[in-house]
A and B are shown apart, each in its own frame.
Chain A
Amino acid sequence: MGRKILYQDAINEALDQEMARDDSVIVMGEDVVGGTGASGEMDAWGGVLGVTKGLYGKYGNRIMDSPISESALVGAAVGAAATGMRPVCELMFIDFMGVCFDQIYNQAAKFRYMFGGKATTPVVIRTMYGAGFRAAAQHSQCLYNIFTHVPGLKVVMPSSPYDAKGLLIQAIRDDDPVIFCEHKALYATEGDVPEESYAIPFGEANIVREGDDVTIVALGRMVRFATKAAEALVADGINCEIVDPRTSSPLDEETILESVEATGRLVVVDESNPRCSMATDISSLVSQKGFSSLQAPIEMVTAPHTPVPFSGALEDLYIPSPDKIEAAVRKTAAYGN
């Protein structure tokens, strides 16, 4: 067995190793250090959930706090990236992109194309997403699909500590703007992570579990839920294959299509709202390019078309659960049989 560390420590280690390797890598964000200008300790927070803790002690001014000014912060990261640095900018909650989206989709995403291929913008925007913390409607959303829609952005959503480290290292080395989406409920999950540096290429899905009855495509935290559902379904003789795309842009279409070709049945699990989502995008892909493989209608397991409710009783109903995934798999497995 390898070394086990937490998802949040895997992210910290990736930042640490890349900052050590390349002095153009800098980290910026609101309270990524914490305590700047105050009377107490520096590095008091190391990020609101402690993900960047300790980097200040090692790298000093290469990790910097920002005033609460998301447009200026993200825009500065984009500008620094276009002029020779490799900034990793933390947008504390993905919901806050509403404040600074122009700098992401009109600026960062467009530079390379609009400037005739003469610009590179190697910025990484790390951001926390997802429901489950009773954090209510403005701190719980799952908005990676919005970034995925925009040409010029790469969008990553690691589901395990191993992927978090390898994908973040790739994101930092990548010359395009990358939106790196970290699920807040995954930070405290543990997994095998090698100590040495490694990069996981974008656009390569991970087959988390092999099976030949039903394909489940799941993203982010939903990979764990899908795994739980798949384990429960074994007792009924249903063997699920779980495909984790790991990046929604670029998307590994081939692995998804090959899996559906083998199983003939697809369930897509996406924590986001259902309209214009990764669930609809992947369903559309398979309908267009894998129609002849399908032996049953595609099932989507998503959040409902509502904001995220605060009440725990409602939020638990909002989030796609292992039970709902199990039910969807049973439905598609039974179709035509």
Chain B
Amino acid sequence: MATNLSIEDLLDAYRTMRTIREFEERVHVEFAKGGIPGFVHLYAGEEASATGVCMNLKEDDYIASNHRGHGHCIAKGVEVTGMMSEIYGRGSGTCHGKGGSMHIADLDVGMMGANGIVGGGPPLVCGAGLTAKLRGKGNIALAFFGDGASNQGTTLESMNLATVWKLPVVFVAENNGYAEATASSWSVSCKDISKRAAGFGMPGTTIDGHDFFAVHEATRAAVERARSGGGPSLIECKLDRFFGHFEGDNQKYREPNEVKTIREENDCIKRFSDTITNDSDITVGDLATIDREVKILIDDAVEKAITGTDPEPDKLLTDVYIRY
């Protein structure tokens, strides 16, 4: 475990990853029961990426996310009770029930929104990076996007613009092997998405996205570069999702045992907890305590979401403009 992270940092990272996992596993169960409306895309399996990345960010740094955004939200500090209520469409949700799973946003903690449009986020972080640069406060902007979005013109244009304007921006491609039901090994024309960085004049690196420490270290370097005025970078995290593209996806495009094998052999949280309990003073008991606390937190969030109330009818017509 080559890291300069403190015990406290490692426990924080574990708590974040477990919170994401518990949140997503629970949404999966509750969705199957029929309690959750709409389109839901789960992040379970990819926790090391959001967590390893966002631990390098400060509250005034910005992230843009995508349709698989719950993990990014949690790692950036969006409050989970509001998130769960949002997913249920409640008035007490993060976006007062108007956004839903695909549109959770909280600008107060630098979360510019999950996004329903593939490739919608990268241009937005160019803007956030521009604000940061012009205001000179030392903050940065970072886009999470998938292997699917890596093929969108918007993403490629953003990489070019970020270099040309020398923006304090980091691009994080989370390559989970599938754009919906299509394999990224087929749909991405080069072996590694990170190879595209060279064409835009920025550093690019591909890492094992199941490895929290690799993610943390690669992001640390890219964030430092951005913060110090060095311009943008691209990081590709190769990882896996435990669930389908959306809840309800039959996943026939995957070999029947694929997910089982990933869960058993390449679970990022298991890898992380094995490492920290072997290589530091952290004990299995410490982690079990966090597990219990996380479960209580998520149970409470689900309870509040289920018993929450719908938005008032007059809310249909509000929030379209600042003034009417």
Contact of B316 among A36, A45, A67, A306 (CB under 8 A): A306
Q: Contact check, A39 vs B258: say whether CB atoms are below 8 A apart.
A: yes
Q: Contact check, A69 vs B253: say whether CB atoms are below 8 A apart.
A: no
Q: How far is the CB of A95 from chain B (nearest CB, A)?
A: 7
Distance between Cα atoms of A120 and B95 in the complex (Å): 47
List of A residues within 8 angstroms of B256 by Cβ:
40
Known: A39-B255, A137-B99. A72 touches B153 (CB 8 A): yes
Distance between Cα atoms of A304 and B316 in the complex (Å): 9
Distance between Cα atoms of A307 and B320 in the complex (Å): 8
User: Any chain A CB within 8 A of the CB of B39?
Assistant: yes
Distance between Cα atoms of A312 and B152 in the complex (Å): 31
User: Any chain B CB within 8 A of the CB of A37?
Assistant: yes
Q: How far is the CB of B65 from chain A (nearest CB, A)?
A: 13
Known: A37-B182, A48-B180. A69 touches B151 (CB 8 A): yes
What 0/1 readout, one digit per residue, does chain B (13-48) give for beta carbons within 8 Å of chain A?
000000000000000000000000111000000000
Distance between Cα atoms of A313 and B310 in the complex (Å): 6
User: Any chain B CB within 8 A of the CB of A135?
Assistant: yes
Chain B facing A: main interface SS: loop
Distance between Cα atoms of A312 and B313 in the complex (Å): 11
Residue of B nearest to A92 (CB): B180
Contact of A310 among B89, B178, B250, B258 (CB under 8 A): B89
Q: Contact check, B181 vs A38: say whether CB atoms are below 8 A apart.
A: yes
List of A residues within 8 angstroms of B101 by Cβ:
136
Interface range on chain A: under 10, 10 to 19, 20 to 34, or 35 or more?
A: 35 or more
List of B residues within 8 angstroms of A318 by Cβ:
316
Known: A37-B183, A44-B250, A135-B39. A310 touches B99 (CB 8 A): yes
Q: Which of A259-281 contact B (CB under 8 A)?
A: none
List of B residues within 8 angstroms of A65 by Cβ:
182, 187
Residue of A nearest to B156 (CB): A69
Q: How far is the CB of A55 from chain B (nearest CB, A)?
A: 15
Distance between Cα atoms of A37 and B182 in the complex (Å): 6
Q: Contact check, B311 vs A311: say whether CB atoms are below 8 A apart.
A: yes
Q: Which of A44-70 contact B (CB under 8 A)?
A: 44-45, 48, 65, 67-70
Question: Which of the 9-residue segments B55-63, B112-120, B131-139, B265-273 touches chain A?
Answer: B112-120
List of B residues within 8 angstroms of A305 by Cβ:
320
Interface range on chain B: under 10, 10 to 19, 20 to 34, or 35 or more?
A: 35 or more
Q: How far is the CB of B316 from chain A (nearest CB, A)?
A: 5
Residues of chain A at the chain B interface (Cβ within 8 Å): 30-31, 34-41, 44-45, 48, 65, 67-72, 95-96, 98-99, 133-139, 304-307, 309-314, 317-318
Q: Which of B85-132 contact A (CB under 8 A)?
A: 86, 89-91, 95, 97-103, 115-119
Residue of A nearest to B313 (CB): A317
Q: Contact check, B89 vs A67: say whether CB atoms are below 8 A apart.
A: no
Distance between Cα atoms of A328 and B158 in the complex (Å): 48
Q: How far is the CB of B265 from chain A (nearest CB, A)?
A: 16
Q: How far is the CB of B177 from chain A (nearest CB, A)?
A: 8
Known: A37-B187, A68-B118, A313-B89. A138 touches B102 (CB 8 A): yes
Q: Contact check, A314 vs B252: say whether CB atoms are below 8 A apart.
A: no
Q: Contact check, A67 vs B179: say whether CB atoms are below 8 A apart.
A: yes
Q: Contact check, B37 vs A44: say whether CB atoms are below 8 A apart.
A: no
Q: Which of B278-324 contact A (CB under 8 A)?
A: 310-311, 313, 315-317, 320
Residue of B nearest to A43 (CB): B252
Distance between Cα atoms of A265 and B181 in the complex (Å): 50
Distance between Cα atoms of A287 and B294 in the complex (Å): 63
List of A residues within 8 angstroms of B152 by Cβ:
68-71, 99
User: Any chain A CB within 8 A of the CB of B10?
Assistant: no
Q: How far is the CB of A270 from chain B (nearest CB, A)?
A: 17
Q: Contact check, A67 vs B187: say whether CB atoms are below 8 A apart.
A: yes
